[in-house]
């Protein structure tokens, strides 16, 4: 009889004490990698955290060992010792990824290599404050482009709402809501939106991102004591970041779900977007783009540009086109510098 109670699987327990156990019959379980250090991984499975080694043969695959399994990867592991503290196991298989975030890292031997930082995330949650510090809009636009690029949801949290009048710059933020992004107004001081913040993180794997001082730690502490202390700072700067080895970590939430901390993810760096593809990550351009005279119009200086026409008509705010053009220049410069190559996703 298989009894499954709550998150505990008694079938696995029974199999474990079976006397006829062979290696291939060893109970295997599924979990999520929440931390990865050299040689070991911490795997979250229900309410348990396991420490696992990686089966040697896995390391021989096409993937570079450092990205064999990253935080967020779902893995199948066999039980080694369930009674030890923490319980231990061996990772047997890395299950297919739904998505991933990567950045360019310098190779010791020269050149750049894709470094996968995180897999299977559900959403990127960008935190900004409406004042002290004031929002950097390019940050949000970049982030949303990258969210589109990586196929995850983009959530925008605007904190410190107690410092400005309720209707302060609302149209600007409303614009993102109209584009289909979730926008949450919060104040860690007054408690405004804290429940929405909690709810949006529950049961999902989120990457929290935002410049220092916007209130990330305070907001996290508001939904769970000490959480902000455990989750380290992630800076909101975009760019290639420092080429040092970084460790990403997922923190389990009391509500279910995980929040990611990564000193390596300094803003999304959408390094492998082809400049010509960028325009497709601006959903508000789609309609006007159909009217562009040239099929490969970059909405820059080309005559007969439907997007620029829509800006002139007031259908698209000028700052959206500016954000796009700034990112376009960045991508072109980077393409020139690094050479463009597609990833295997």
Q: Which residues bind Mg ion (CB under 5 A)?
A: 216-217, 233
Residue 297, interface with Zn ion (CB under 5 A)?
yes
74, 103, 299, 320: which one binds Zn ion (CB under 5 A)? 299
- C-beta separation of 155 from 125 below 8 A: yes
Q: Count CB-CB contacts under 10 A for residue 261.
A: 21
The answer to whether residue 125 forms part of the interface with ligand GDP (CB under 6 A) is no
Out of ligand GDP, Zn ion, Mg ion, none, what residue 276 binds, judged by CB under 5 to 8 A for its kind, is: none
**Shortest reach from residue 156's CB to ligand GDP, in Å:** 15
Q: Which window, 109-117, 212-220, 244-252, 287-295, contacts ligand GDP (CB under 6 A)?
A: 212-220
Considering only residues 103, 142, 216, 299, which one is a binding residue for ligand GDP as defined by CB under 6 A? Answer: 216
| Number of other residues whose CB lies within 10 A of the CB of residue 337 | 9
Minimum distance from residue 162 beta carbon to ligand GDP (Å):
5
Nearer to Zn ion, 71 or 311 (CB): 311
We find the least distance from the C-beta atom of residue 280 to Zn ion, in angstroms, to be 12
Minimum distance from residue 43 beta carbon to ligand GDP (Å): 28
Query: Is residue 267 a contact residue for ligand GDP (CB under 6 A)?
Result: no
Q: Which stretch binds Zn ion (CB under 5 A): 9-17, 19-27, 228-236, 297-305?
A: 297-305
Q: Per rule CB under 6 A, is residue 194 in the interface with ligand GDP?
A: no
Phi, psi of 97 (to 5 degrees): -85, 140
Closer to Mg ion by CB, 112 or 235: give it: 235
Total length of the chain: 345
Nearer CB in complex with ligand GDP: 27/210: 210
Consecutive H or E run containing 258: strand 258-261
Size of the site for Zn ion (CB under 5 A): 5
Tell me if 334 contacts Zn ion by CB under 5 A: no
338: Cα separation from own chain's centroid = 24
Instruction: Considering the complex, state which of residue 120 and residue 217 has its C-beta at the smaller distance from ligand GDP.
Output: 217
In angstroms, what is the minimal distance from the CB of 271 to ligand GDP?
A: 25
Report how far apart, in Å, the C-alpha atoms of 263 and of each of 99, 140, 191, 214, 225 are. Answer: 20, 19, 28, 17, 22
Tell me if 159 contacts ligand GDP by CB under 6 A.
Answer: yes
Whether the bond into 245 is cis, omega within 30 of 0: no
Q: Tell me which residue of 180, 300, 273, 179 sits closest to 289, measured CA to CA.
A: 300
Per CB under 6 A, the list member of 16, 212, 343, 345 interacting with ligand GDP is: 212
User: Residue 89, CB half-sphere, CA atoms under 13 Å: how many?
Assistant: 26
Residue ranges of alpha helices (H) inside the chain are 10-17, 137-150, 170-178, 194-201, 216-223, 227-230, 275-278, 286-289, 306-312, 318-338
Considering beta carbons, is residue 90 or 194 the nearer one to ligand GDP? 194
Phi/psi at 200 (nearest 5 deg)? -70, -25
Within 10 A of 162 (CB to CB), how many other CB atoms are there?
A: 15
* CA distances for 199 relative to 25, 65, 204, 246, 337, angstroms: 40, 36, 10, 29, 42
What is the number of other CB atoms lying within 10 angstroms of the CB of residue 203?
11
What residue 329 binds from Mg ion, ligand GDP, Zn ion, none (CB within 5 to 8 A, per partner kind)?
none
* Distance between CA atoms of residues 147 and 172, nearest Å: 19
Partner in contact with 299, chosen from ligand GDP, Mg ion, Zn ion, none, beta carbon below 5 to 8 Å by kind: Zn ion
Binding-site ranges for ligand GDP (CB under 6 A): 159-160, 162-163, 187-189, 210, 212-218, 233
Binding-site ranges for Zn ion (CB under 5 A): 292, 297, 299, 305, 307
């Amino acid at each position: 009889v298989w009894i499954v109670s709550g998150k505990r699987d008694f079938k696995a327990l029974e199999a474990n004490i079976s006397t006829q156990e062979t290696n291939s019959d060893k109970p295997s379980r599924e979990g999520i990698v929440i931390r990865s250090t050299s040689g070991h991984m911490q795997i979250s499975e229900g309410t348990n955290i396991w420490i696992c080694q990686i089966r040697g043969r896995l390391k021989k695959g096409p993937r570079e060992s450092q990205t064999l399994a990253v935080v967020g990867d779902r893995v199948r592991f066999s039980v080694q010792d369930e009674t030890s503290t923490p319980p231990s196991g061996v990772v047997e298989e890395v299950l297919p990824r739904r998505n991933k975030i990567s950045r360019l890292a310098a190779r010791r031997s020269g050149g750049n290599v894709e470094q996968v930082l995180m897999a299977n995330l559900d959403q990127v949650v960008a935190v900004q404050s409406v004042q002290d510090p004031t929002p950097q809009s390019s940050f949000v636009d970049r982030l949303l482009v990258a969210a589109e690029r990586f196929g995850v949801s983009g959530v925008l949290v605007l904190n410190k709402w107690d410092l400005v009048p309720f209707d302060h710059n609302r149209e600007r933020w409303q614009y993102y809501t109209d584009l289909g992004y979730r926008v949450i107004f919060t104040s860690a001081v007054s408690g405004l939106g804290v429940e929405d913040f909690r709810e949006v993180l529950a049961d999902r794997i989120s990457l929290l991102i935002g410049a220092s001082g916007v209130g990330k730690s305070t907001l996290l502490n508001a939904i769970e004591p000490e959480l902000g202390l455990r989750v380290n700072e992630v800076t909101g700067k975009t760019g290639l970041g420092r080429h040092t080895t970084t460790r990403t970590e997922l923190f389990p939430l009391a509500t279910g779900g995980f929040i990611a901390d990564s000193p390596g993810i300094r803003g999304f760096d959408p390094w492998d977007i082809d400049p010509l593809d960028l325009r497709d990550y601006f959903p508000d351009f789609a309609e006007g783009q159909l009217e562009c005279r040239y099929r490969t119009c970059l909405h820059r200086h080309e005559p007969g540009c439907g997007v620029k026409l829509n800006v002139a008509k007031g259908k698209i705010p000028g700052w959206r086109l500016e954000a796009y053009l700034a990112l376009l220049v960045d991508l072109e410069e980077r393409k020139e510098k690094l050479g463009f190559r597609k990833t295997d996703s």
